[in-house]
Amino acid sequence: MSRHRQFVMLLMLLLLALVAAKSKISAVQEDIIDYKDFKKLLRTKNNVLALYVSSAKEAAAELKVFRETAEAIRGTGTMLYVDCSNQERKKLCKKLKVTPTPYTLRHYKDGDYHKDYDRQLSVNSMITFMRDPAGDLPWEEDPAGADVLHFSDAAAFSKHLRKDIRPMLVMFHVPWCGFCKRMKPDYSKAATELKAQGGYLLAAMNVERQENAPVRKLFNLTGFPTLIYFENGKMRMTYEGENTKDALVAFMLNPNVKPTPKPKEPDWSADTNSEIVHLTTQGFEPALKDEKSVLVMFYAPWCGHCKRMKPEYEKAALEMKHNNVPGMLAALDATKEPTIGEKYKVKGYPSIKYFSYGVYKFDVNVREASKIVEFMRDPKEPPPPPPPEKSWEEEDDSSEVHFLNDKTFSSTLKRKKHALVMFYAPWCGHCKHTKPEFTAAANALQDDPRVAFVAVDCTKHAALCAKYNVRGYPTLIYFSYLKTQLEYNGGRTSKDFIAYMNNPPSSKDHSEL
């Protein structure tokens, strides 16, 4: 081999090593030097967590957690690292009035400063925060709920059931559930009281998290909160009692006693102080036929969204009365009056429909009191919604990307020597940018039977994505005959994908996931 050729090969190896080294840290953005670059970043990224340090040495522990989080939330948010001891970045820190001692964490949302990071300095806490920066403090981080055992994922839950046979009540909840939020204080107090007595355990699991989708499916959880009682590591019954501290404690001390049933919620239509006109099948047409402007809320008593809207609807009716706003606000329980619901094609709750002189005109999407009153002052048909976006699979019939699901994933990848899988969500902006590049690469290598470019929609196949620990979008993973499994951290252009698949890694060169 000639010296020139040896030199070229050595140079290529050095370049590959540099690219590999860069890809390992690419999850954290470290190239922001001046204020202009910083503002540009905020204009292009709407979810940024910035770590400012007085020096890398003094904040080594925090930086380690930060980097691990960045890898986990890739595609969900942007992690920015600024070393204020660096000569080039001192001006930026001064301009931003940041004086880290030894570190400061700030979050920026939609182009502006949002808040200082105020959660635990752990990977799980940061991941939760970046997934929903405006959300409430996670229950597991609330000191008031310290005596509740919080299961982070299905694996931890299963492991506990195998090892701990104590009587246990598990509250399966989701962050957006109003009933869950109202119950948490009582549940936490009951956990503390039972812990003092010994031998009993109250636990909780947030099943909104993607990694907990298998648990949600296993117990067929459709309403929240759902409380399930376990004995000797096995499910025994669903708790149907009141959501109070005393009722929870009494149940755990003697689960064989039938709990006092939850009090029945009062019928909305029975409220004599309400300004809302409550309709029935017989009275529907007579009540509306002489009214020029009527908004009708079709609801179901059990519907959480309806319950949240009811006080806003009542407030709007009072405001209309006091300010002489013309029109009438009415409501109809579609579970009691299904004929009217079917006639006006009510498919979900609440459905808000506008009528004039008894004739249905159009649907309205207003749920806050101010918006309802604003609409009734000047009722206008809203513009038609844009046509639904085609799914990636439907966009281009000529695409060589394989769209797989739980049933086809393993059987397809077992036959492919080289497969690059993109786990994505349709709403994800980074996924939308990557899609055409991924498709172009798949089309370019379509003649190689050993190679496959695969896409998995995680909003449809949550269990499959959870199996491969997908925590952000897009997540790209390389497979070889389904045995070798390596995370892809390279660039996201078609050229990057093609180069990677033309010279794929081996398990010897990379650590497996």
Q: List the chain domain ranges.
A: 28-134, 140-253, 274-377, 397-502
Q: Residue 93 catalytic?
A: no
Per-residue DSSP letter, 141: G
Q: At what angle do helices 429-444 and 494-502 cross, to 10 degrees?
A: 50
Which residue is catalytic, options 84, 93, 180, 428? Answer: 428
Selecting among 84, 93, 180, 306, the annotated active-site residue is 306
> Which residue of the set 93, 180, 431, 458 is catalytic?
431
Superfamily of domain 28-134, CATH level 4? Glutaredoxin (3.40.30.10)
Provide the total of helices (H) and of strands (E) in the chain, helices listed first.
18, 20
**Of 192, 366, 241, which Cα lies nearest the Cα of 295?**
366
Cα gap 280→340, rounded to integer Å: 8
The angle, 0 to 180 degrees and rounded to 10, between the axes of the packed helices 178-197 and 304-322 is 130
Q: Is 84 labeled as catalytic in the residue annotation?
A: no
- φ, ψ (nearest 5 deg) of residue 403: -100, 110
CATH of domain 274-377: 3.40.30.10
Q: 140-253 and 397-502 share one CATH topology?
A: yes
**Catalytic residue status for 465:** no
The tens place of each residue's pLDDT in the chain, 513 residues long, gives 555 555 555 555 555 444 444 444 457 888 898 899 999 999 888 899 999 999 999 999 999 999 999 888 887 889 999 999 998 899 999 999 999 989 999 999 888 899 999 888 888 889 888 988 877 778 888 888 889 999 988 889 999 999 998 999 999 998 767 678 889 999 999 999 999 988 899 999 998 877 788 888 888 887 788 999 999 999 999 998 888 999 999 999 999 887 666 566 678 887 777 899 999 999 999 999 999 999 999 998 888 788 889 989 999 999 999 999 999 999 999 988 889 989 999 988 899 999 999 999 999 999 999 999 999 999 999 887 667 677 888 876 678 999 999 899 999 999 999 999 999 988 888 899 999 999 999 999 999 999 999 999 998 898 899 888 887 889 999 999 998 889 898 889 999 999 999 988 764 444 344
428 is catalytic: yes
| CATH class of the 140-253 domain in this structure | alpha beta
d(CA 403, CA 382): 36
The continuous run of DSSP H or E covering 201 comes out as strand 201-206
The class level of CATH for 397-502 reads alpha beta
pTM over 0.85: no
In whole angstroms, give the CA distance from residue 436 to residue 439.
5
